[in-house]
Structure 1
Amino acid sequence: MDQNRVVEGRMVNPSGLAELIEDADVMEATEIEDADRECPECGGDVLEVGYMPSVSEFVTGYKCQDCGWSETDRE
């Protein structure tokens, strides 16, 4: 099931959300989920998506639905 969400006023699919966070193409992405947190910049809702930026790496990314804030779980 393809799960699209509105982020910063446009519809994105899981790969599109991951590419917004990574600022690059990604290989594969999991379903978009609601992260149980608020954006530290604007207080908006934060989405979570898991993705593979490369063959050997899996990253969980977080992106605000309302502003440009994002982060990943990379150390």
Structure 2
Amino acid sequence: MSENRVVQGRMVTAETLAELIEGESVMEAESIEEADRACPDCGGSVLEVGYMPSVTEFVVGRKCQDCDWSETDGD
């Protein structure tokens, strides 16, 4: 079960965090975890979430809690 986290001043669920990273709705998201890295833009804390943007793809996305920076390991 995923816990809510604060990202850029608002509470997000795993699915909402995945949507922020992807820029659109996702099919399913796993729980939010702390990433073992700092944000390359602002040095803030980075969260990580695994999600399915489509039925055939699984992506791990990372998003800074303090700024707009995000990345995925997808294509």
TM class, shorter-length: over 0.9
Cα offset, 1:74, TM superposition: 1.7
**What is aligned with 1:46?**
46
Count of aligned pairs between the two proteins: 75
CA distance in 1, matches of 2:71, 2:2: 23
TM-score (normalised: structure 1): 0.97
- Contact kept, 8 Å, 2:46 with 2:64, in 1: the verdict is yes
Q: Runs (4+) of structure 1 moved beyond 6 Å?
A: none
Unaligned runs of 5+ in 1: none
TM-score (normalised: structure 2): 0.97
- The answer to whether residue 35 in structure 2 is matched with residue 30 in structure 1 is no
**What is aligned with 2:4?**
4
**Identity across matched positions, percent:** 71
Cα offset, 1:2, TM superposition: 3.6
